[in-house]
Chain A
Amino acid sequence: MKTTSSIASSEITDKAFFIKRRQLIKAAMGMSAASLLAGSKDSLATDKHYQDIPTGPYSADLPVTDFEDVSHYTNYYEFTTNKTDSSVLAQALPTSPWQVTVEGEVEKPGVYNLEDILRGNPLQERIYRFRCVEAWSMVVPWIGFPLGNLLKKFGPTSRAKFVEFTTLFNPAIMTGQRSNSLDWPYTEGLRIDEAMHPLTLLATGMYDDELPKQNGAPLRLVVPWKYGFKSIKAIVKIRLQETMPATAWNKRAPGEYGFYANVNPEVPHPRWSQARERVLGASIFTPKRKTEKFNGYGEQVASLYSGMDLRQYF
């Protein structure tokens, strides 16, 4: 894996190890886990789906969260409200073949195979901060491509002011959809300028490999300056429209989860503080990290909201 960042490949937890790195550290009795992993990497690297993906722009030079943590702490209410059980239950989801419907204010609507969507959109690795509305955060090496590149290909009309995304609805497999924990199917949305922003990704992988099912395979959105619930998983429909789409969490609790959902320490959730976040994977004696406005991407995105009161448009 050639990256321009200073994070060595060995810094990223190898999937073949189902023991956590922290346990390895204990087992190694002072030997560094990184060197243990490095020694085994050559023989195991071949089963990774994505090899030599170039690093894209805006990729952060940050230590990456353990793969085990990122793949075993996922909110996926389509299966369960439990963040660890979701990694087991989501395995039932068939992710191939996969089709995405593109409709609304576009010149080329249609039902597209995933392969057609990926064609002509070279993949890049982007190491992004990921901040959940529940005040925890991670750093994830996503594999994907800018959403804007794809949208341009469908030819949005001048009336395309918003983009609506929809997750698969299949209660036979997605057993959580049998309960009313949210209104199904899950929908999310972005303003067109947010959707076209070069930071906004459609991801198909992470950690040099395909996305685990619990992390939104085969296709998910990643909007790094917004709370995690905006980054919708298992996308089956992309609709461009003139009006602001209704979004799942906003329908559930309009006073708690706004359409914009920009990460902002100054705007608390009505029931808890957003000033700090628990960084996953750190030792239990590590203090919380102070949350950054726009999750640290203010330089790139603050201009999208100039003149808007972020307390009102939360």
Chain B
Amino acid sequence: MRLEPNAWRGIKIAALITCLSPFLWLCLNTWQDNLGANPIQTLHFRLGDWALRFLCLTLLVTPYRQLTGQSWPSRFRRMLGLFSFFYASLHFLVFIVLDISLSWEAFVDEIKDSPYILFGLATFILLLPLAVTSSKSMQKRLGKNWKRLHSLIYLAAITAVLHYILLVKSDLTEPLIYADIVLILLAYRLFKVAKKRNILLDRA
């Protein structure tokens, strides 16, 4: 799509508002006390859902370009990735501030007894350097290493899905849908890498 820079700016702002809308919706629901009998858990779960959805969308961008030849979604990849981090940060904040009320003792109890929390923390820690190095200047500065660093997103997707699977009591339907998406995208990626290596080996 060939568009004027101004038109792209407008589209970007519209995309930004779209990505923000779940957050605004949650704010409204919180204000209206419309989150059910267990509002903290509702807030926490919904923020986690959106973090994972944006993570999956971020991973979809490159395969989409390769399979359809359309490059326009690539312009939104950074935004999608940062929104995943944004929702993951809020999810983490709700846990620390509202769920365990900033209590170190409660934090230790949770970490000790709840393996799924470790996977959640791992996901957040993995996303942190990606968010910090998401700017164009960082991309230039890191060069080849930028791509290497940002392939950590696959690891983050795996730990995020494990985090979800481990906390569910019995109905695994939803976490397994995300697991399937992540596995398909990962398999596609590995297939690409293997193919590329074979070409290089053939030439050697």
Contact = CB atoms under 8 A, between A and B. Distances in A.
- Whether both chains belong to one complex is answered with yes
Interface of A: 20, 22-23, 26, 68-70, 72-73, 77, 81, 83-84, 134, 136, 181-182, 252-253, 268-269, 271-276, 278, 280-281, 284-285, 287-288
A96 B112 CA distance: 48
Given A273-B109, A273-B114, A84 B36 contact: yes
Contact of B36 (A70, A73, A253, A272): A73
Nearest to B116: A271
Nearest to B97: A285
Given A23-B33, A272-B114, A273-B109, A288 B100 contact: yes
Contacts of A273: 109-110, 112-114
B137 interface: no
B151 interface: no
13 contacts: A73-B36, A77-B170, A136-B38, A181-B170, A253-B170, A273-B109, A273-B112, A273-B114, A274-B113, A281-B37, A284-B30, A285-B101, A288-B101
B166 interface: yes
Given A81-B171, A252-B170, A285 B33 contact: no
B49 interface: no
Interface string B53-82: 000000000000000000000000000000
Given A273-B114, A287-B101, A280 B37 contact: yes
B167 A272 contact: yes
B147 interface: no
Given A73-B38, A284-B39, A287-B100, 6 more contacts: A72-B36, A181-B170, A181-B171, A272-B167, A273-B110, A288-B100
Contact of A280 (B38, B43, B110, B113): B38
Most chain-A Cβ atoms within 10 A of its Cβ — which of B39, B43, B167?
B39
A182 B37 CA distance: 24
Nearest to A138: B37
Interface of B: 30, 32-33, 36-41, 43, 98-101, 103, 106, 109-110, 112-116, 166-167, 169-171
Contacts of A26: 33
B166 A271 contact: yes
B52 to A, nearest CB: 19
B108 to A, nearest CB: 10
A68 B39 CA distance: 14
A77 B99 CA distance: 26
B105 to A, nearest CB: 9
Nearest to B40: A284
B114 to A, nearest CB: 4
Contact of B41 (A181, A275, A278): A278
A268 B33 CA distance: 31
Contacts of A181: 170-171
B40 A278 contact: yes
A22 B37 contact: no
A212 to B, nearest CB: 14
A95 to B, nearest CB: 23
A73 B169 CA distance: 16
B113 A276 contact: no
B170 A81 contact: yes
Contacts of B36: 72-73, 83-84
A20 B109 contact: no
A271 B114 contact: yes
B116 A272 contact: yes
A81 B167 CA distance: 14
